[in-house]
């Protein structure tokens, strides 16, 4: 069977997407390894001051640059349908955090719940984004 031009372009596009995702995975793997290597063994899993400040600053900068650059590169490779899905999932995750924090904060001020925890809010945003992505992508 003769390969069509669009098939070659689709494979090249998928290869570029996989390269970006692989590079982001590798950056995250290295940062995670360094955090685990330098983390204080006596500190708890989410204890403050458990890694050196230089590593915290470096990891934060690498995270911001990697996510910004990776998002930009992936957005260039996405078609219109994928962009709409990613926009919708981002809005849903943002709404979960924008609605969740004030509600939790007011309940905390009323003495009903513990103080708002950024990690739980972040995880709620990530999980809602994953659920929304699955819904919009596979329905």
pLDDT digits (tens, 9 = 90+) for 42-76: 877 677 888 899 999 999 999 999 999 999 998 88
Mean model confidence pLDDT for the chain:
91
Q: Residue 136 has which token pair?
A: 């919009």
Pick the closest to residue 113 from 101, 125, 122 (CA basis): 101
CA–CA separation, 105 and 118 (whole Å): 11
Residue 110 is given by DSSP the state T
CB 86 within 8 A of CB 58: no
Domain-wise residue ranges, the chain: 1-77, 79-139
For residue 43, report the phi and psi dihedrals to the nearest 5 degrees. -80, 155
Would residue 48 be called left, alpha or beta, if left means φ above 0 and alpha means ψ between -120 and 50 degrees? Answer: beta
């Amino acid at each position: 069977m003769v390969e069509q031009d669009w098939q070659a372009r689709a494979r090249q596009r998928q290869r570029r997407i996989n390269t970006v995702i692989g590079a982001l995975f590798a950056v995250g793997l290295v940062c995670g390894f360094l955090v685990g290597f330098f983390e204080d063994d006596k500190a708890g899993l989410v204890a403050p001051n458990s890694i050196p400040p230089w590593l915290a600053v470096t990891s934060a900068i690498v995270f911001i640059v990697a996510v910004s650059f990776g998002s930009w590169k992936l957005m260039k490779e996405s078609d219109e349908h994928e962009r709409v899905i990613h926009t919708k999932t981002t809005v849903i995750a943002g709404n979960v955090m924008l609605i969740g924090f004030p509600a939790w904060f007011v309940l905390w001020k009323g003495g009903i719940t513990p103080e708002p925890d950024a990690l739980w809010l972040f995880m709620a945003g990530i999980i809602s984004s994953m659920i929304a992505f699955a819904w919009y992508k596979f329905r």
